[in-house]
Structure 1
């Protein structure tokens, strides 16, 4: 990987793929992100030197760039005129992150989808916005839609999204991608797609309430194959001015769409716990990545936890302590990003929002069309050895610039709002 940004003509050959960094991930693929001002200038200024710190903007965005059938996203991105992709790209161009995690972006081998989104949308002016270029991209296989060959939902039949390692109608649905203006250390990327849930000490394995045995929803055969991550967990080292910042990206399963056994709620909790253990010295000795390496981050490492964690600290269906494993962690800061639009939406919609305990200004997802109301589920959480400059949720109030991009149901972009963090490295 060159230390300087490649030219546009050579970008495809410099994109990072999981096949370069981990053969295990490639094998799995073969199996059928206080009210703030609306002005959001780019965080980066002059390039950093050895004696000059650098300000960097991180952003997570569940952009809902997923489709219902394999190949559909490629068609939409290839056209260059897909209205949703144009609106998503405009949101990104308005906020101008240096490091961007996109959740719910269907995965295709060979980086075809991520390149099409860059070339046909991000690098094209959207509604008068300045194009944005990311020389470095990481994407990799995920567990969604990968058949397990097992009856994981105990329906009596095998097949379909509920029996995949992560819910999905085809392999790669609801995937992830990381775009970066800064070099990614390809050789040091770690993925945890194939880590087995049963190998987490004290795992909250789901219990079938119809039987007397504890934690027996899954059979021994199923536990021997069942992967913890519903998509994947990625540790992506980004080199910023001579300093490594680990982007810890994930998208745990929604803690719903199950029964009294709470198999998705318990999985959501333990998917979140994986990162809490990973950044705690000595707590992740049990954890192995897809290349067989054990352990977590070294003490003193700089990191940013990013993604849609499908867990609110006060409201919703997640386990009470799920996201608190990160928000209350001794190595993690919670900048508590807020927006004017989130508070406004909760008041206008009422319904379930009226009974919420959490501050609606912190909400990041607009679930007004269904229970449990709007929630804070998307996070960009820096380690305490990074200096926070600013943080906000991009959710303009009605009538303000950009509000047409978030909108109301049916949304022109996504039911999630971007979360932005500026730090000094």
Structure 2
């Protein structure tokens, strides 16, 4: 499980950062809060998986958002009661399920899950949440950034025309879920997190809308790193829904991000229980695309990586937990 190791200065305290696509998302609003309060089996399994890893900060994906953050607060309380206190949280409203009143997928109907700013059966479905031992400060929330405003992006076309229409695309946000830049005020100094959760590059119709958008969600961070990289040490963290060597989508886009000169690609390894899948795979869909590397924790080169790895919470888990112990620069 351990990939990289260096001598640890005696006065330094490593920072353990983690990422997990939890699979806790439910089919309707309020159901996650209900199940947390009931102590549902998958909720308790998620709690125990995080307790075993004991991160100082963790980005959770596929955790439903509600206006008053009741579900997130209840889950944080569940962790705290078991001994993992992560009192600081950040979970702005995601694009998933955010109604537009438009026909964004161009199928002639409105009000469907594909017509939300990000696919979702209800507002806040499958959101993002950050939990931390240390205070969190928002630097930028790019979740409302428009797709058409990304320099050099490729927009969907049909019969030589923008699809569904220039007017509708002018209201289409880039993020399927969210793109954030937030700062953790750690004891060793500020650490910036660049977080995102892209939509899958599938099910986009003959005009390839979802594949183009998925590639653009990853390309956004290359553009930011090239034009406005954080001044503080940072980590790029999230789910690109894109594998550099297999599966659907523009694989060259994630490969280019992994090769960015400001980043370290740790490529942690662990084989999912009961499978012979590639050890770098971070997700496994046995009845779908199989095992792919889609989740990423990429520190910038100013950070020292003491160790990193993958943890598969159990044989039924779809995604592994990625983690890294980081040392801030002097």
Matches of 2:251 and 2:18, distance apart in 1: 26
Q: Are residue 64 (structure 1) and residue 23 (structure 2) matched?
A: yes
Aligned partners of 1:54 and 1:240 also within 8 Å: no
Q: Pairwise mapping of residues 155-234 of structure 1 onto structure 2 (< 5 A)?
A: 155-185=107-137, 188-208=138-158, 211-213=159-161, 216-234=162-180
Any gaps of 5 or more consecutive residues in structure 2? none
Shift of 1:242: 4.5
> What's 1:133 paired with?
85
The match for 1:365 among 283, 304, 310 is 283
1:5-404 mapped onto 2 (5 Å cutoff): 35-36=1-2, 52-79=11-38, 81-119=39-77, 121-125=78-82, 131-185=83-137, 188-208=138-158, 211-213=159-161, 216-280=162-226, 283=227, 296-298=228-230, 300-341=231-272, 345-346=275-276, 360-370=278-288, 372-395=289-312
Task: Please give the alpha-carbon distance, in whole angstroms, between the structure 1 residues aligned to 2:2 and 2:153.
Answer: 39
Q: CA deviation at 1:135?
A: 1.7
Paired with 1:275 and 1:239, the residues of 2 have a C-alpha distance of 22
8 Å contact 1:53–1:241 — kept in the other structure?
A: no
User: For the residues of structure 2 that align with 1:251 and 1:279, how far apart are their CA atoms?
Assistant: 17
Return the structure number with greater helix share.
Answer: 1
Give the CA deviation at 1:156: 0.9
Work out whether residues 388 and 424 of structure 1, in 8 Å CA contact, stay in contact via their aligned partners in 2.
Answer: yes
Contact (CA 8 Å) 2:76, 2:87: kept in 1 or not? no
Deviation of 1:212 after TM superposition, in Å, equals 3.1
Q: CA RMSD in A?
A: 1.9
- What CA deviation, in whole Å up to 9, does each residue of 1:124-149 have, x standing for no partner? 44xxxxx2110211111011111111
Partner SS, residue 234 of structure 2: strand
Deviation at 1:78, TM superposition (A): 2.0
**What TM-score, normalized by structure 1, do the two folds share?**
0.73
Cα shift at 1:107: 0.5
The structure with the largest alpha-carbon Rg is: 1
CA distance in 1 between partners of 2:272 and 2:285 (Å): 14
Q: Contact 2:118 / 2:175 at 8 angstroms: preserved in 1? A: yes
After superposition, give the CA deviation of every residue in 1:311-345 in whole Å (9 maximum; x if it has no partner): 10100102121212320101000011001337x61
CA distance in 2, matches of 1:88, 1:192: 28
In the alignment, the residues of structure 2 paired with residue 197 and residue 52 of structure 1 have an alpha-carbon distance, to the nearest angstrom, of: 45
* TM-score normalized by the length of structure 2: 0.93
**Aligned to 2:238, what secondary structure does the other structure show?**
strand
SS in 2 for 1:366: strand
Work out the CA distance in 2 between the residues paired with 1:69 and 1:58: 30
- The secondary structure found in structure 2 opposite 1:260 is coil
**Conserved? CA contact 2:196–2:240, under 8 Å:** yes
Consecutive unaligned residues of structure 1, counting only runs of 5 or more, are 1-34, 38-44, 126-130, 284-295, 348-359, 396-404
